[in-house]
Amino acid sequence: MVRVPLSPQERQRGERFGLLLRQARGDRSMVDVAAAAGVSAETLRKIETGRAPTPAFFTVAALAHALNLSLDDLAAACAEDAEGGDQTMSA
């Protein structure tokens, strides 16, 4: 199966999502958060650095739960960024 290349907007949204996760993780280690979410630390590292800009829904949901984030807040923050809105998110 061949993947369609991501658009610049999709790449930016993935980078923004990674930044939001890093901010929400704060002082917690990547290993601790990944373990709490049931994903590998490498998966979390790829998402946080934008190398995996379109993670699976269940991965996003598990990370949101582990970081005590609302999926609605994450979606809104990424949408705001795509529209040129606010660049910060409160956890």
Q: What average pLDDT score do residues 33-60 get?
A: 95
pTM for the predicted model, two decimal places = 0.81
SS (HEC) of the chain: CCCCCCCHHHHHHHHHHHHHHHHHHCCCCHHHHHHHHCCCHHHHHHHHHCCCCCCCHHHHHHHHHHCCCCHHHHHHHHHHHHCCCCCCCCC
Task: Provide the 8-state DSSP code for 91.
Answer: -
The pLDDT-based confidence of 79 (bands split at 50, 70, 90) is confident
Q: Is the pLDDT of residue 24 over 60?
A: yes
Q: Is the pLDDT of residue 82 over 60?
A: no
- Rounded to the nearest integer, the mean pLDDT of the chain is 86
User: Domain 8-82 - what CATH class?
Assistant: mainly alpha
**What's the confidence (pLDDT) of residue 1?**
72
